[in-house]
Homo-oligomer: A and B are copies of this chain.
């Protein structure tokens, strides 16, 4: 039997000794020409680029986070490439958090849950990001499927973008909305809790707001965090692990995602050969992994 997602994730983080999650964000204008002409042949270019990233990422990180919206801009070929890359990464031994930010009612939510977490023709991802705005009943199909299949669900609570404050920070009684969302979700975390004590009902907690991350940790003590915003979005490694807690292994409590900084480091953009590109990207991934390792070391 497969172990709960939370335990597999924590095990992976301990083995790699870093909470780094490699974000796979395919930007048409940044993927080097050595991988092909993305305009003429998006599927092949995305697959070549994506598998090359996975081959490097698997050595230094435990999680891959493909950004589905950037695949979908290439239509069904992009959608198919994203699914195949999930399969490839899982086959290589990585855990996949599919960044899809889905959310819908009843039977449609069931459809999205199957599409993202379910086996073929679904993505069979280990975890998927979902949006809570429509209410707890719209999250239930994802949580149920995750509970049955030892998967995870990462719920947007406090995001890392500038406009996150517009609605998430509105005061509801004596606390901001995001805190109400966290409090309402917290009891559900028990259902995806593993032997490690951590829960695979993850909370997305933007690295750009470390104070909020600490407050969110109080509200959701067992939930692993998915922290975006580290690197290109400007947050430091220390800020990124603000919601982690001290354990004998050091700070623990989630994964920290870096996308642009690891997939498109400046020297890789200038590379003319695959070998040059590989060493530039591996350097960037290793740096991110060790910066986060250092931030988690007490």
Contact = CB atoms under 8 A, between A and B. Distances in A.
A73 interface: yes
B80 A76 contact: yes
Interface residues of A, number: 63
Nearest to A70: B111
A131 interface: yes
Interface string A171-201: 1110001001100100000000000000000
Contacts of A136: 163, 166
A252 to B, nearest CB: 26
Nearest to A160: B105
Interface stretch (A10-18, A54-62, A112-120): A112-120
Interface in A73-116: 73-80, 83, 99, 101-112, 114-115
B107 A25 contact: yes
A77 B163 contact: no
Nearest to A159: B134
B131 A133 contact: yes
A236 to B, nearest CB: 19
Interface of A: 25, 27, 42, 67, 69-80, 83, 99, 101-112, 114-115, 118, 120-122, 131-138, 156, 159-168, 170-173, 177, 180-181, 184
